[in-house]
Structure 1
Amino acid sequence: MRKKLEVNPKYASYDMLKQLYQTEKDVRLKIRLLAILHFFEGYTSLEVAKLLHQSDSTVRRYLHRYNKAGLAGLKDIPHPPKKNILTNDELKEIDKALSSSPRNAGLNFSNWTGQLIVSFVKNKFNKTIALGTAYNILHRLNYSKTRPKKTDKRVNKETLENFRSELNGLLESKDEDTVIVYEDEAIITSEPTISSVWSKKGTQTVVKTNTSGSRKRNVIFGAVNPETGELSQQFSDKGNTENFKSFLK
């Protein structure tokens, strides 16, 4: 059977503690004072824990701290601020590295991960950080995990913008007898799907791919009339000119 805990009476009387409890505004300190009052009243630690909805070990710790240091023992001990492992300049270098492929930093991987950041910090600054710290760095630098968008390396931005401008002009100038449909092809391919990567919040990462190589695929041609919602589609084994002309007919 455990020995019943008692309050060291040298620091304050029951009435003094009760008065302090009634005037105390700090909620945490108020609960600790109430625990000491209950011990003064003869309750066991299990009974005090039940009354305060706290664990037995917690209320026993309150009493041990009070018996050792009085009221000062019930107050929270201020902890010194943690020293940052990485400097602001080092964080800027990490931010710069994250904006490009890990391969540019000497790491033979396509996408950044927490473990790669751990390796980068070790290689670059000779500092060791935990995996959790690496993810904290990502969030601190305003990164989130998103799925990037693919674009063909051969795309000419100027040509694309000119096409968009001409299309807008055509839509605005067409007569009532002209029907314009939006056409596109969907390709089901053996090319691996794009996984999520860490990127700055509010931006979308672009992965450049080479579509000139041979690979297995199936093509779905589709067109929709934006005015009526009418949809047409055709399934083909190849996305070539012959199949495209067949779809247009």
Structure 2
Amino acid sequence: MRALRLESLTVSQLHELDDLYRTTRDVRVRTRAQMILLMAEQGVAVSDVAAIVRESGETVRRWVHRYEAEGIHGLSDAPRSGKPAKAGTDYRERLVELVRRRPRALDLPFSMWTAARLADYLPEETGLRMSVASIHRLLRAADLGFGRPQHTISSPDPDYTVKKKAVELARDRLRPGSVFYYADEFNISWYPTLRPMWGSKGQQVMIPTPMQPTRRYGLGAVDWHSGQTVVLTRPHKRRREVAEGRGGRGGAARRGRAPRPALPPNLQPVAEPD
């Protein structure tokens, strides 16, 4: 993330901020003026300003951006006089474009847009400030809403959908009383995965650990009808056990025949649904 730099202010602007800081009765406005003065006069970093005024770094950045866009009047929450501003086509298009972009891609210190953040960010580019309520209204007019996303299952296999339907068809054609299991393999490591990181050329970065990483191989299955879960874990993968587990759990069912109802000796139930 880029370090936030406040452009050099004139003597008149500094006096104006200092006067606001000393005379305002609004504690919030005084704090906002203090943020600007600390950065402009002393070159204090955002993180240090946040610690001094006991606010978050995001809050400091927001008020600095608002001051740059609107001047000293932007530090006040008082309603503006005159006719409310109207959002033109350019403003609406930019609003929709921002909502569909990740804030991190714009070097912003958050991962999700809210109406308040959009209302604070857009004046930097457009010079026009809209209320949070107006942002909500414009987003609704663009057929955009705020909701929780949902995971969707995907696969790089181009034939995934066809194979999935074939398995479901075989499952649905089983005779009453048949057992159908979904099974999959997995690996467990007690230490987190080491990702690439910067280091000196020709010298590998070493991460101290108390012992050799402990790993386990696993095979799990779930009964489609009852929800019963079975899990097999071993220090190493054993192909014979995998074949027995898959053959006894779900392999026959995927071929359209009823599998053996008895559990193989290497697969035992570990959890029952409520």
Higher strand share: 1
TM-score (norm 1): 0.39
TM-score (norm 2): 0.36
- Larger gyration radius, structure 1 or structure 2: 1
